Amino acid sequence: MKHRKIVGAVGAAAVIAMVPSLGGNSAVAAGDDTTYGASFPYTRYEAERGQLDRAHVVSLDESQPVNTMLDSTAIEAGEQSYVELEGKDSSVSFTAEVPGNAIDLRFTLPDHTAGSVDIRINGETAASFNLSSESAYQYVQESKVYDEEWLKDPRNGPAHARFLFDEVHGLLNRQVNPGDRISVVRTGSEGHAYGIDFVELEQALPEIQRPDNSVSITDDDLTVTEEKAPGVWETRKVYARPNDGKDDSDAFLAALRRASDENKTLYIPRGTFEFDRQVAIHHSPNDNHQLTIQGAGIWYTNVFFRNPNRASGGIVLEHTSHDLQVRDFYMSTNLKSRYNEGANYKGFQGVTKNSRFENLWIEHFECGFWMGDYVDEKNMQYTEHMLVEHSRIRNNFADGLNYSQGSRNSAVRNSNIRGNGDDGLASWSSHAQSQPGEPVQYVSNARHTDNIEFTHNTIELGWRAGGIGFFGGSGQKAENNLITGNFEGAGIRLNTVFGGHNFDWNLTLNKRASIQRNKIIRSGTKDDYYGNSRGAIDFQEVQVNGRIAGVDLNDNIIVRPFAEDVRSDFVFNAEELKLRGVSIGNNPRRDGDGYEPQHLVVNYARVNGKVDRGIPEDANYALYWWDGDRVNPVDGKTHRYWTPKADGVQINDGMEFSWEGNKKVYNFVLGDDPQYLPTSSTRFSDDYAYQGEMARSFQDPSQPQTVVRFWSHK
């Protein structure tokens, strides 16, 4: 497996601080929080529930033998069903229940084929997508993963085709309103079938403009200095331009260096920026400031690593990569292989401290994140206080994220983990050492992992290993996650199969592995590629690596598993559980439950009664008036509407304002009825506390921007 205002979910924790505090600052007691999964702004429309035109539904036939089911395409689809479009101009259509302007499409094609579809709104083309299966398809034979079926070892039985589905996404050229008809129309005339699993419609957040005090990778005055010969240095200008097909990595590194040195934000604007190499981040805590790498948003900024060679892409977090905030962009690659670990580069890899990664979309890497240091013991560094949240980690060849090699006090929260080829979220308490023949020999003797937390995530449609995996260490937490369709392994697994520290640290330190209040749907398997059964929750031991100990397993809901509810290599009698310090409470089977996250909220800003934009979960909702709720019948989410107070305050020519660049800033006391504050007679810093600001929604682009700044009495 391994070589290396509270809005959102109802009852969820309050907005999280920059550095995760894992002691629990929850707005409600943990045991009272009965929500499952991540809160995201999209609504999913399953193809098999749509209106079909020259198309048909393909569903999993559970009367077939296990191996036949495992080799079906439908088992990898959401809800184990999808729709085949039979020929050119065939379609599947849906009626929009909520507004949106951006779409994600999950599809399947035969290996080494391509196709094309239109997204049409009320019959008019709103987006066109070219489809390809080249980034997908892997053939799994026991522990090996091959690019082509013919590469398998014939002595080891069949190889199972997996990673059958992939995704494309993009902005639409028009607004979708409730009641509009959304159609996925096949425009290609190839002889092979197209499979459509689902579409997800959302209201994309507005493009994030360049912040003040920032360096952009498109700035014209960036330079790099290189040693051309011993003692001979040359300085040259570099720059990045979006969508020009040229390597932008020099400009990124030059801008990164300047932003770090000058205490500025690094901004990556709208467009596609292509990198032909791996890039490393160096930012020392001695710099005494946080470094922010800021995109324009996941629907606008695309960072594409196009070199498919080993160690030739992704972002490396070096020993000095601390105090980072990385946010708001999409990352993808040209990788097409995991064979012999040939890809071997991750979205992010290395070590960091006191860092936050949010609103990222990471796809088509070997792994989304792999946190660990692989050097000799005297040089080891460790990941601590790292938080990933509000992110989408999808369609990677191996793990979505793994905290390994002594990582501590780190978390993943409110993220969507989908379609990955190893554990969706994992913590492996490894203490790695180099293998014979590796160019650098080392023995890390890494410490054990501690306080790794996975909460309120949706982990779905993994095609190998577990949804969540803990492999030793102490203080593990998997709570309030929704895990669906993990059909080739456990929904949640704890095991000592892989070498490293075992779970006895929980007993030594009087800590617990908390596996509680998760909902696990259609997971587990009767054949894990080795012919073994794995439960929806699974405990597996290899005696030489130690035992599983110090675990609380309570209040997990299990829905229609493909194998056992809970499976273990050890017996669940009172004596054995006491010896191990394992507590097993109520973990009910509820086969009638559905797939959707429950009790979740999506937030929108309304302007003149119409949806203008989505609102991020961590926004200051005191800057809005509540404007009503609506429950979406498609997925049960509550759609909550808000009116910006900046649009509702009355501004006239007699009011004082201040100029800030090209902005006219007016000041008001925040409240249900905001009160105007004159600039000349108000002691802002003495008498008032800043609460936030917002531009008015309707602006004449030829005029200065009007901004309303809100204050509260001290």
SS3 257: helix
At 29, is the pLDDT very low, low, confident or very high (cuts 50, 70, 90)?
A: very low
CA distance 192 to 88: 11
Q: What is the pLDDT of residue 287?
A: 62
Q: Which two tokens stand for residue 361?
A: 């979309």
Query: pLDDT for 176-211, tens place per residue?
Result: 999 999 999 999 999 999 999 999 999 999 999 999
Range with the poorest average pLDDT among 338-352, 419-433, 624-638: 624-638
DSSP class of 16: P
Domains of the chain, each with CATH number or no CATH: 43-202 (2.60.120.260), 601-713 (no CATH)
Answer whether 505's CB lies under 8 Å from 448's CB.
Answer: yes
Q: Is the per-residue pLDDT at 38 higher than 90?
A: yes
Q: What is the arithmetic mean of pLDDT over 228-257?
A: 95
Tokens of 55: 């198309």
Q: 67: pLDDT confidence band, cut at 50, 70 and 90?
A: confident
Q: What is the pLDDT of residues 300-357, one digit of tens each?
A: 999 999 999 989 999 999 998 999 999 999 999 999 887 776 667 999 999 999 999 9
Percent of the chain with pLDDT over 70: 93
pLDDT for 343 equals 66
- Measured CA to CA in angstroms, residue 92 lies from 76, 95, 110, 406 at distances of 19, 11, 19, 48
CA-CA distance, 520 to 537, in Å (whole number)?
Answer: 8
Q: What is the mean pLDDT of residues 548-558?
A: 97
Burial classification of residue 355, based on how many CB atoms lie within 10 Å of its CB (0-12 exposed, 13-18 middle, 19 or more buried): buried
Strands 291-295 and 324-333 turn out to be: parallel
Q: How many CA atoms lie within 13 A of 236 on its CB side?
A: 9
Query: What are the CA-CA distances from residue 11 to residues 614, 624, 658 (Å)?
Result: 21, 20, 40
If you average pLDDT over residues 678-682, what whole number do you get? 92
DSSP H or E run through 271: strand 271-275
Tell me the mean pLDDT in the region 454-468.
Answer: 97
β-sheet bridge partners, residue 268: 295
The answer, yes or no, to whether residue 251 has pLDDT greater than 90, is yes
**pLDDT, position 341:** 62
Place of tokens 């993009």: 170
Mean pLDDT of the chain: 90
Q: Helix, strand, or coil here: 110?
A: coil
pLDDT per position as a tens digit, 575-588: 999 999 999 999 99
pLDDT digits (tens, 9 = 90+) for 396-422: 999 999 999 999 999 999 999 999 999
Residue 75 reports pLDDT greater than 70: yes
pLDDT of residue 85 exceeding 50, the answer is: yes
How confident is the model at residue 497, as a pLDDT?
94
CA distance 2 to 22: 26
Among 135-144, 168-177, 517-526, which stretch is predicted with the lowest mean pLDDT? 135-144
Is the pLDDT assigned to residue 84 strictly greater than 60? Answer: yes
Phi, psi of 260 (to 5 degrees): -65, -45
The alpha-carbon radius of gyration of the chain (Å, integer) is 26
Structure token pair of residue 557: 């809901």
